[in-house]
Amino acid sequence: MEPKAPPRSFFVQLRLLAVNLRHALGIAWQEERSLTARFLFANVAEALLPVAIAYVGKRIVDAVVAASNDPTHPMGPTLTWVGLELALILGSHVAGQTNGYFGQLLRARLALHVDRLIFEKVLRLGVHRFEDAEFMDVLERARKESGWRPVEMITHGLRLVRSVVTLTGFAALLAGFSVWAVVALALAGLPFLAEMRFASEHYLLKSRRTQRERQAHYLQQLLTSDWHVKEVKLFQLGPELLARHRTLHEGFYEEDRGFAFRRGLFVTLLGVASSGVFYAVYAVVVGAAVQSRISLGDMTLYLAVFRQGQSAFQSAMTSIARAWEDNLYMNNLFELLALEDDDVADVKVGEGAEDVAPPEVRFEGVSFRYPGSERAALDDVSFRIAPGETVALVGVNGAGKTTLVKLLAGLYPLSEGRIVLGDDDVATMDRGALRQRIGVIFQDFVHYHFTASDNVGLGWLPKLGDRTAVERAAEEAGAAEIVAKLPGGWDAMLGRWFGGEQLSVGQWQRMALARAFMRRSKVLILDEPTASIDAEAEHAIFERFRELKKDATCVLITHRFGTVRMADRIVVLDDG
């Protein structure tokens, strides 16, 4: 999806920035009210102290000049001002460190909070979205940048407020010399508004290459994942994958280099112009002091105020630009969160009504097209599965067998027709209630790098820690003997990612079968349930399955004759 170009109008940008800054503050206030309040207070303190330090510096110079002209002038007031300046400088240092400390804590808390917002949103979106490249770009942009952007946006927004507060104080002091000096101060910082344009350009640069960055990440996975390493080595794919990865990143480098050069050149020229304005004012102030129109203390004050004021103004402009860039990336998060929920499960695991007896399943004129595809994966499919019946779905690869059971499981919305489970239309059922009534294992089941107990118990969360239920499901799937041989038994970690035991493909499949049996559902869907299991183990599983299927409506997808024999009826799918 091509990202929208940001608006070019400065005032429109400021309005949008204010809106999203309010949203970011709202997120922070909702998540960490006390910490946010302390962070705000530290920022205000850090903003006011430079003005006070500049004023006290003037009083010190004036006191020193007065004392040098009058030997009888007491030293007490001068030392008092020096002590006050020391206290203010120490206070400024403490405020800065406190501000950084609170900012770091808030950044960590909000990053976790935004990640949670993204994860919770993803759980409410349908499976079909994850097969859409445009959605994956949206998700990648939100996931990659949004976690830390809210705090950065607040930080830059507060830095802007801090700079404005400091500038207001400096302007009030500088106006004592000349209103034109205040105008010159503003003019010296205005060129840095160009940072806004570069922030927008950088955002578009990064957003337009989201898909290529996902490709680079995918290549990294191919090169480093244990799931891919065998084929990468056997087919000697390493050099080719590395070359593709290098080509992508060289393209990123060239884009970044061109942007950095343009921005650096422009900012350098603006810095030269800004310095020219500063030294023009510098000359005027020094001339006024030479002509005795102002005191040495006044000269020190005005020069310090103008120098620090110029820095504060530039900081304000840079803060606007950085906050604007944060705002653009925050829009990625809001774009994701604004998507319509299409897979909401209001019924929590274990709360829904369970089938007392195996239900009937009816497919009535079911048609389905995958998003973005013109070809119908299923076209006007109708058949009935009687309560307690076991049906084998057979057909060539691509006939639509797995698609059909995914529709039954509510993973995709139907294009036409309806599916009825018992007395309920699957399309109108709560997703949580539907999935509680179905036990399913697909060919591409998940290898959970958790303990053996978790690998089975995750099939039914209410009994995740129920070792008796876990062992029973494992026994039914032929997985108990696998676990018995593991060091640590049920507490053994599976998979190599966290130092666990690696299983064979067939052993992983038996663990997945146990997970499906754990659910004790009255509707059981098994997609190639024994494809990777040896004949002896398959026979043992089928003997147990004979008992299980007596109390469930079952759908088997298979190409194996041994599996088909377990069915009461065979349904053949041919090209949808």
Between 356 and 336, the more confident residue is 336
How, if at all, do strands 569-572 and 390-394 pair?
A: parallel
- Binned at pLDDT 50, 70 and 90, residue 63 comes out as confident
Residues 119, 204, single domain; the answer is yes
pLDDT value for 458: 92
* 3-state secondary structure at position 27: helix
Question: Would residue 474 count as lying in a domain?
Answer: yes
Which among 173, 177, 216, 171 has a CA at the least distance from the CA of 316?
171
Highest mean pLDDT: which range of 103-117, 244-258, 277-291: 244-258
- Residue 570's beta-bridge partner residues? 392
Query: Do 448 and 321 fall within a single domain?
Result: no
| Phi, psi values for residue 259, rounded to 5° | -65, -45
Residue 347 located in a structural domain: no
CATH of the domain at 524: 3.40.50.300
Please tell me whether residues 268 and 378 are part of one structural domain. no
| DSSP label at residue 493 | B
Residue 53 sits in the same domain as residue 133: yes
Q: Is residue 390 part of a domain?
A: yes
Q: Are residues 305 and 405 in the same domain?
A: no
- The whole-number pLDDT of residue 58 equals 76
Residues 6 or more apart whose CB falls under 8 angstroms from that of 558 comprise: 392, 393, 394, 528, 529, 530, 564
Does the residue 36 lie in any domain?
Answer: yes
Quick one: 322 and 378 in the same domain?
A: no
What pLDDT score was predicted for residue 292? 80
What pLDDT does residue 228 have? 79
Length of the chain: 576
Rounded to whole angstroms, how far apart are CA atoms 472 and 480?
8
Is 354 domain-assigned?
no
| pLDDT computed for residue 491 by the predictor | 94
**Structure-block tokens of residue 340:** 């319509």
- Going by C-alpha positions, the residue among 471, 468, 479 that lies closest to residue 541 is 479
What is the per-residue burial (b if ≥16 Cβ within 10 Å, else e) of 457-475? bebbeebbeeeebbbbbbe
More confident residue, 50 or 252: 252
Domains identified in the chain, total number: 2
Is there a contact between 204 and 3 (Cβ–Cβ < 8 Å)? yes
Residues 304 and 407 placed together within one structural domain of the fold: no
Name every residue whose Cβ is closer than 8 Å to that of residue 238 and which is 6 or more positions away in sequence. Answer: 223, 232
Nearest C-alpha neighbor of 542 from the set 492, 495, 449, 477? 477
Flag whether pLDDT at 111 surpasses 70.
Answer: yes
pLDDT band with cut points at 50, 70 and 90 for residue 448: very high
Task: Report the share of the chain in percent with pLDDT over 70.
Answer: 89
Question: Among the listed ranges 126-135, 411-420, 510-519, which one has the minimum average pLDDT value?
Answer: 126-135
pLDDT for residue 450 is more than 90:
yes
| pLDDT surpassing 60 at residue 226 | yes
Q: Is 518 within the bounds of a domain?
A: yes
Q: Tell me which residue has tokens 């004592």.
A: 176
Same structural domain for residues 377 and 251? no
DSSP string covering 286-317: HHHHHTTSS-HHHHHHHHHHHHHHHHHHHHHH
% pLDDT > 90, the chain: 15
Domain membership of residue 352 (yes or no) is no
Summarised one tens digit per residue, pLDDT across range 39-61 is 888 888 887 888 788 788 878 87
* Domain hosting residue 425, numbered range: 361-572
How is residue 199 written in tokens? Answer: 């922030």
- For 489-544, write each residue's pLDDT tens digit: 999 999 888 888 888 888 888 898 899 888 888 888 888 766 666 666 666 666 66
CA distance 7 to 444: 45
Indicate the average pLDDT of the chain: 82
Give yes or no: residues 79 and 212 share one domain.
yes
In a domain, 356, yes or no: no
Q: CA dist 428 to 94, 350, 425, Å?
A: 60, 20, 6
For the ranges 21-25, 72-76, 165-169, 254-258, the one whose mean pLDDT is highest: 254-258
CA angle 82, 84, 88 (to 5 degrees): 115
DSSP 234-283: HTT-HHHHHHHHHHHHHHHHHHHHHHHHHHHHHHHHHHHHHHHHHHHHHH
CA–CA separation, 228 vs 233, rounded Å?
Answer: 9
Residues 314 and 178 in one domain: yes
Q: Which residue has the higher pLDDT, 233 or 345?
A: 233
Q: Are residues 126 and 250 both part of a single domain?
A: yes
Q: Which of 63-77, 90-104, 448-462 has the lowest mean pLDDT?
A: 63-77
CATH of the domain at 126: 1.20.1560.10
Same-domain pairing of 260 and 398: no
Q: What pLDDT is attached to residue 357?
A: 80
